[in-house]
Amino acid sequence: MNNGWNRFIYKIWAPYYDRFFNSGPFLKARQTLFKDMKFKKGDRVLFIGVGTGADLEQIPYDELDITAIDYSEEMLNQAREKYAHTTIEFLHMDAQNLDMENDTYDYVVASLILTVVPDVQQAFSEMVRVAKRDGEILIFDKFVSKGKELSLFKKIFRPIIRLLGTDIGISFERLYLPYKDGLIMIENQDLVFKGMYRKIRLKKK
């Protein structure tokens, strides 16, 4: 995957995205993702890969200081239209190269983005960088099952799936390992499809 290919794929996906990824089990997963979050009025929240804005309807967005970024202009434009009446700042930006200061956000939210970007390690590093000390990082994505290797079937089909704009072979445990001394794991919960998709909640030390 690369940025150019992702831009092309998500231009195609944009008109249909909510039909697949903001309904049924995915909608329930998003609801579970945010149900225990204790946002305070005025908290600074960064949504990385906000897409069509599917996550935003699950939070009190009118009480928060929200910045939402995406690399796909088509996806971002849908979010802008949905939330045109709000103060949410929507920006076209690469998750691998955030144009933001260190230690800026109380919450950094990344739904279905880490398995999309070309360099997942760089994107995760940027998420950690812009989160405040004692701030939280909230992730909803698909990862290789904890303590297991990718099955032979998935290994065979992984290159094909990547052509559709996502990767089924990312291990969160390996991604997290270099940062474990600077982060606290609050939650690592299976959400949907027998643990293929997980909720991961981290706190920055």
Whether the predicted pLDDT of 83 surpasses 70: yes
* Per-residue model confidence (pLDDT) at position 8: 80
Nearest to 102 by CA among 121, 127, 65: 127
Q: What is the mean pLDDT of residues 57-77?
A: 96
Number of other residues whose CB lies within 10 A of the CB of residue 3: 14
> Quick check: 117 and 53 in contact, CB under 8 A?
no
Question: Does residue 33 have a pLDDT over 90?
Answer: yes
Q: How far apart, in Å, are the Cα atoms of 3 and each of 9, 14, 81, 118, 133? A: 10, 16, 24, 7, 30
* Over residues 25-51, mean pLDDT: 95
- Of 203, 46, 52, 175, nearest to 119 by C-alpha is 175
What is the chain's mean pLDDT, rounded?
92
Asked whether the beta carbons of 114 and 164 are under 8 A apart, the reply is no
Task: For residues 124 and 59, give the distance between their C-alpha atoms in angstroms, rounded to a whole number.
Answer: 23
C-alpha distance from residue 37 to each of 28, 106, 187 (Å) = 15, 12, 12
| Across 15-29, 59-73, 111-125, 173-187, least confident range | 15-29
- CB 186: neighbour CB atoms within 10 A? 12
Percent of the chain with pLDDT over 90: 74
- Fold classification of 3-204 is Rossmann fold (3.40.50)
With 80 as the cut, is the pLDDT of residue 147 above it?
no
The pLDDT of residue 128 is 98
Residue 182 confidence (pLDDT) above 90: yes
Instruction: Specify the range with the lowest mean pLDDT, choosing from 86-95, 110-119, 138-147.
Output: 138-147
pLDDT band at 1 (very low <50, low <70, confident <90, very high): low
Q: Please report how the helices 3-13 and 73-82 are oriented relative to each other, as an axis angle in degrees rounded to 10.
A: 40
pLDDT of residue 172: 95
Tokens 């231009």 appear where?
11
| Residues 51-65: tens digit of each pLDDT | 999 999 999 999 999
User: For the chain, what are the domain ranges?
Assistant: 3-204
Evaluate whether 39 touches 59 at the Cβ level (below 8 Å).
Answer: yes
User: Rounded mean pLDDT of 120-140?
Assistant: 98
Q: How far is CA 65 from CA 23, 86, 87, 110, in A?
A: 26, 10, 8, 16
Tell me the pLDDT tens digit for each residue of 94-116: 999 999 999 999 999 999 999 99
